Amino acid sequence: MSELLKMLGCRYPIIQGPIGMFNSPRMVAAVSEAGAYGMLALGFIQDPDEVKKLIDEIRKLTDKPFGANLMLINPQNEKILKILAGAGVKAVTTSVGSPKEIYPVIHDLGIKGIHVVLALQHAIRAVTAGADALIVVGSEAGGLRSLNPESSTMVLVPLVSDYVKVPIVAAGGIADSRGYKTAFVLGAQGVQVGTRFLASLESPASEQWKKAIVECGDGSTTLIPALNMRVAERIIITPWVKQKMDDPEVKNIAAELDRNPAASGNYERASFGAGQVSALIRDIKPVKAIIEEMVS
């Protein structure tokens, strides 16, 4: 058994990529029940009671292991970690921020921490700070990116594996058994999968969002500056986004995107976050079918 599988305690070395804007106990439980590692996305959650509630709901659906993602900019992380440890969570992932201060807290609670890195220098710093494993995310991935030039999964995973000894999880561009198998050849012990699970039957994403992923072709996503222009975010180029990209007057597309289209019922200006791998996703299926195909 690989070191990574020992940390996760699940059957397959597949981690559900956390999607910061929502949590679905049904989805986390479905991923864990299918043998992979279901993940709560706690990056934006400030209320520890909400974390307890989510865990209780998951535990009604599965007794299999699951984890959680913490964003290191969240001031509630220490309280949240205590709740996770009390609930028997064995491994968390950490992202968006410096790992230096939180890793001693994670280890004191008997938890393993897997830090998300987007570049070689982040990887080396994270291992020095005590990360037990790394999620190495290539530039094609969905989610937040840095504004610096970045390497793709195909380059970054073997590069990082040349420099660190801790287990590596490859992320970015993995949606099927081809990507899954390649990750091991590149030096990873497992994968983290975001966009493919976002377009699953159990995903809490809107039907419009899932449809937009399935309709993506080659070159259908782009990076736009986000969060006060300090980082970038990968989104689908919808007709509205395309119009804004072509308009030299528009300086900040992110500011005009509708982050909660469900409230208005109008999805024209919606922000559909997704990775380049959307081009390979042609249907919405249950997470169990996605995982079974991946490991086949």
Ligand X SMILES: Cc1cc2nc3c(=O)[nH]c(=O)nc-3n(C[C@H](O)[C@H](O)[C@H](O)COP(=O)(O)O)c2cc1C
Residues 149-208 within binding reach of ligand X (CB under 6 A): 171-174, 192-195, 198
Hunting for tokens 């029940």 — which residue is that? 33
Nearer to ligand X, 54 or 193 (CB): 193
Residues 215-234 within binding reach of ligand X (CB under 6 A): none
Closest contact distance (angstroms) between CB of 246 and ligand X is 24
Q: Which stretch binds ligand X (CB under 6 A): 15-23, 78-86, 161-169, 211-219?
A: 15-23
Binding-site member from 123, 186, 277, 294 for ligand X (CB under 6 A)? 277
- Number of residues in contact with ligand X under rule CB under 6 A: 27
Nearer to ligand X, 65 or 194 (CB): 194
Give the separation between CA 198 and CA 76, rounded to whole angstroms: 26
| Binding map of ligand X across residues 17-46, x = CB under 6 A, - = no contact | xxxx--------------------x-x---
As separate numbers, helices (DSSP H) first and strands (DSSP E) second, the chain gives 14, 11
Give the separation between CA 157 and CA 135, rounded to whole angstroms: 9
Quick check: 273 binds ligand X (CB under 6 A)? yes
For residue 172, give the nearest of 113, 234, 241, 99 by alpha carbon: 234
Whether the Cβ atoms of residue 173 and residue 275 lie closer than 8 Å to each other: yes
Q: Which stretch binds ligand X (CB under 6 A): 133-141, 249-257, 260-268, 288-296?
A: 133-141
Nearer to ligand X, 161 or 195 (CB): 195
Whether the Cβ atoms of residue 5 and residue 57 lie closer than 8 Å to each other: no
Q: Can you list the alpha helix ranges (DSSP code H) found in the chain?
A: 3-8, 25-33, 48-61, 77-86, 102-108, 120-128, 153-163, 177-185, 195-198, 207-214, 239-245, 253-256, 261-264, 287-294
Binding-site member from 133, 274, 279, 281 for ligand X (CB under 6 A)? 274
Nearer to ligand X, 16 or 161 (CB): 16
Closest contact distance (angstroms) between CB of 126 and ligand X is 13
E strands present in 20-107: 38-41, 66-71, 91-95
Give the separation between CA 117 and CA 248, rounded to whole angstroms: 33
Site of interaction with ligand X (CB under 6 A): 17-20, 41, 43, 69, 95, 116, 137, 140-143, 171-174, 192-195, 198, 273-275, 277
